[in-house]
Every structure is written in structure tokens, then in C-alpha cells.
């Protein structure tokens, strides 16, 4: 056999062997991968496109230790996109046409207010019905402190006279003229005040029953009455705050929590001046506003734990420039705040410079720190805001518009 023929036969043999190996590999992979079939959970696509992921059911949850992720677990998260209707302006409705002074929402969702033009007090029921709280006329009321759970209030007049009026019993009780800065207990049966005598040794933090009986001295104020802020907590644990703690600098203050029985509560540190507190519904959280050079002297919101051994813990800045008394809690984790659209430098020192600036309403999730703007569909200079849980609505009054308004959420 010639060398040329041997070479040709060898080449032909190699080609046949390679072909057989290739055919064997093809059959093997066809069985294992199932090419040409549709895998469960995968949507077939047109040629040249990748298959979509498909939905994968969650088979259960796996408990893990804190800080670890469950192994081998695939979870389909719900979509986080809010519906388009959420971003539409809320239909603001007028529920009171006349100018309403000293508005307040009770625990049943009824709004109380004073009509200075008529000299009468009214209540707006959750169904929108407006009723007189009393047929009596109260002329020239200068300030009103409402009880939280009953229709009673301390009324102050320009001549210095002060009375507690119980609208449910249609009775009034005298309040000493030298008492000031009032706050009601959560059950509305007592109120606290500063008793401001002429000399420092006669200045006290006091409490009294709502009918004027049972007066009791709680703590001596001395010359520190301006450093004490009256605000009875919903838990009844704290009656006031005092900025008489250790000196920490020009703009840092230790705020003490004052109880009814000389308790030694923990304190908290505030990073600024003009401390304005606002309790959550349970009293476990405290919202407050302060201003400082760091904020260009604009008010800034903070949140801190405020109950028991947790007082002063988990202090966090909410990154909103407004005052705490322009906010309303929905619960311990959610609040609504009226936030000026812009604030000039120094608004914390002189809030009057913010007059005429419109507000936007924000919903704040204190767990996540998420601030969500709620379009209101109008321009309002909001001076008081409330949240009605029974109807999931925000109620507010405004300096630039006469009346009381609501926005369903």
C-alpha cells in the first residue's frame, strides 16, 4: 500500500471517530438539559431574547439569628410603587366656615374651638355636625387650655381672671390668677400649673383637681420658672420638663423629666434652644424642636424615647425644619407635620419672620425615617394640625384662611 493511500485512510478514520464522539456528546446533553422544552416557572420568549424570571412561590420563612440572612430562601417582595392616586392633591374640605380659635381634637375625634366673633364654644362631631358646647357667651377669651379626654378647659382673660369651665356639667371654677402655664392630666381630672408668687421662694410647680380642690405642691421653681415647660405625659409619669441639668455649652442642654413624686428619672440631651415638646399617644416617644447655629437658627425636629428606663435613648434627627407644635402623632411610629416651604435664617429665634410662608404636610415614618409629602391642593399657612384616627384624616386651621379644614388620607 502506497504512503499516499495510508495517509488518506488515516485522515478518513480520524474524521469518522470525531463525528461519532460529537454525536454521542450531543445525545448526552439533549437528555440532561431538555433543550426545546419549557422549564417550570420560566416563560418562553422569542428567539434572541432572554427568558423572564417567572414567579417563584415562597415556601416558608426561616428563623435566623439577628444580623443574619436566611440561607437558600428566595422571597418575592410586594411592589413598593404607590398608586398614582396617592400623588394627586387631596380634596381639602371646609368643615367650619367661621374663624376658629384655640382648636383642639379630643380623643373621640370631635373638634372643639372658640368662635371669637360670637364668644361661644363649639364642637364638630365626626359626622360633621356642629353643636354648641354651651349656650353661655364668653367674651374676649385670651387663651384656652383644653382637657384631652373631656370637654372642659381653662379660660384666660385680658384682665388676669382665669376659670376652669366644665362644658359637660355647665359649671365653672375659679383658678388663682398667679397660676400660669397650664396642663391637664391624661384623664382630665387634674391640671398642673406654675404658681408664680412675687418672691422666688413662693414659686412652685403645683397640681389641683379640676374643681379647684386638692391643691398640692410638687416642686420648687425658685428663679427657674422660665426653664420649666409644663406638659403632662399620656402615661401620667411626667408632668413637666426642666432645663436645669448640667451645663453642656451655649446650645446643648440637659432636659430633666419631672414627675409627681420627686422621681429620679433619666434625662435627655437636646442640641439647641427653644425646646418645644410633643408627646406620642402612649408617652413612649417624645417629639421636640430646637434651633441652633448648625441649623442657621431654624427649628429642627428630633425624636427620642421618653418612658421609664428608656428615657433619652434612640435620639434621632428627623431632617425637617418646623416646630413640634405644628405636628400631630397618629401613633408612636407615625406623625404628620406642617412644614414651611422655606424658612429664613433666624426663624427659630423669631418665629414671626415665617408669617406668610405656606406649609406642606408631611407624613413621617419614625421607624424608617421616611418623610413623604402629602399634596394638599392649596396654599395654607397652617397654625394647628390634628390627626383623627377614627376617620383617617388630617384636620387643620390656617392663618390665611378662615375656618377649619380636613383632608382624607
User: Could you write out the DSSP letters of every residue in 159-219?
Assistant: TS-EEEEETTTTEEEEE-TTEEEEEE-TTSSEEEEEEE-SSGGGEEEEEEETTS---EEEE
Provide mean pLDDT across the span 301-308.
Answer: 96
Q: What is the DSSP letter of 43?
A: B
Neighbours of 34 (CB within 10 A): 10
Choose the weakest-confidence range: 46-50, 124-128, 356-360: 46-50
| DSSP single-letter state for residue 345 | T
What local confidence, expressed as pLDDT, does residue 246 receive?
A: 83
- pLDDT one-digit tens code per residue, 110-169: 999 999 999 999 999 988 899 999 999 999 999 999 999 889 999 999 999 999 999 999
Give dist(CA 200, CA 181) in Å, integer.
17
pLDDT of residue 15: 54
pLDDT of residue 88: 58
Rg (C-alpha) for the chain, rounded Å, is 34
For residue 330, the tally of other CB atoms under 10 A from its CB is 18
Structure confidence at residue 186 as a pLDDT band (50, 70, 90): very high
**Contact by Cβ (8 Å): 357, 342:** yes
pLDDT band at residue 175, thresholds of 50, 70 and 90?
Answer: very high
Q: CA 129 from chain center: how many Å? A: 28
pTM of the predicted protein model: 0.77
Position 55 pLDDT exceeds 90: no
What is the strand order of the sheet 171-175 is part of? 143-146, 152-156, 162-166, 171-175
Amino acid at each position: 500500500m502506497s504512503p499516499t493511500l495510508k495517509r488518506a485512510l488515516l485522515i478518513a478514520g480520524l474524521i469518522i471517530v470525531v463525528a461519532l464522539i460529537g454525536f454521542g456528546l450531543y445525545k448526552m446533553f439533549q437528555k440532561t438539559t431538555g433543550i426545546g422544552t419549557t422549564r417550570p416557572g420560566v416563560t418562553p420568549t422569542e428567539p434572541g431574547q432572554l427568558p423572564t424570571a417567572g414567579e417563584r412561590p415562597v415556601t416558608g420563612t426561616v428563623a435566623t439569628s439577628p444580623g443574619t440572612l436566611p440561607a437558600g430562601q428566595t422571597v418575592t417582595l410586594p411592589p413598593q410603587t404607590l398608586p398614582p392616586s396617592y400623588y394627586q392633591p387631596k380634596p381639602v374640605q371646609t368643615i367650619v366656615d367661621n374663624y376658629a380659635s384655640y382648636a383642639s381634637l379630643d380623643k373621640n375625634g370631635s373638634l372643639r374651638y372658640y368662635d371669637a366673633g360670637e364668644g361661644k364654644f363649639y364642637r364638630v362631631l365626626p359626622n360633621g355636625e356642629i353643636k354648641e358646647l354651651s349656650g353661655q357667651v364668653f367674651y374676649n377669651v385670651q387663651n384656652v387650655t383644653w382637657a384631652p379626654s373631656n370637654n372642659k378647659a381653662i379660660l384666660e382673660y385680658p384682665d388676669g381672671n382665669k376659670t376652669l369651665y366644665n362644658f359637660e356639667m355647665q359649671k365653672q371654677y375659679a383658678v388663682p390668677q398667679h397660676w400660669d402655664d397650664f396642663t391637664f392630666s391624661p384623664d382630665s381630672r387634674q391640671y398642673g400649673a406654675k404658681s408664680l408668687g412675687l418672691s422666688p421662694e413662693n414659686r412652685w410647680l403645683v397640681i389641683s383637681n379640676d374643681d379647684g380642690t386638692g391643691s398640692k405642691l410638687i416642686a420648687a421653681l425658685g428663679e427657674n420658672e422660665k426653664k420649666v415647660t409644663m406638659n403632662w405625659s399620656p402615661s401620667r409619669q411626667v408632668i413637666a420638663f426642666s432645663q436645669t441639668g448640667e451645663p453642656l455649652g451655649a446650645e446643648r442642654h440637659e432636659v430633666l423629666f419631672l414627675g409627681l413624686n420627686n422621681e429620679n428619672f433619666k434625662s435627655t440631651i437636646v442640641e439647641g434652644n427653644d425646646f418645644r415638646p410633643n408627646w406620642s399617644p402612649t408617652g413612649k416617644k417624645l417629639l421636640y424642636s430646637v434651633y441652633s447655629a448648625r441649623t442657621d437658627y431654624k427649628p429642627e425636629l428630633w425624636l427620642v424615647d421618653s418612658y421609664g428606663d428608656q428615657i433619652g435613648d434612640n435620639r434621632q434627627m428627623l431632617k425637617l425644619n418646623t416646630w413640634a407644635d405644628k405636628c400631630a402623632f397618629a401613633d408612636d411610629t407615625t406623625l404628620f407635620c406642617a412644614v414651611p416651604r422655606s424658612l429664613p435664617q433666624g426663624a427659630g429665634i423669631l418665629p414671626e419672620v415665617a408669617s406668610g410662608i405656606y406649609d406642606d404636610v408631611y407624613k413621617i415614618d419614625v421607624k424608617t425615617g421616611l418623610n413623604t409629602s402629602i399634596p394638599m391642593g392649596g396654599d395654607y399657612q397652617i397654625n394647628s394640625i390634628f390627626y383623627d384616627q377614627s376617620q383617617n384624616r388630617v384636620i387643620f386651621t390656617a392663618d390665611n384662611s378662615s375656618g377649619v379644614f380636613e383632608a382624607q388620607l
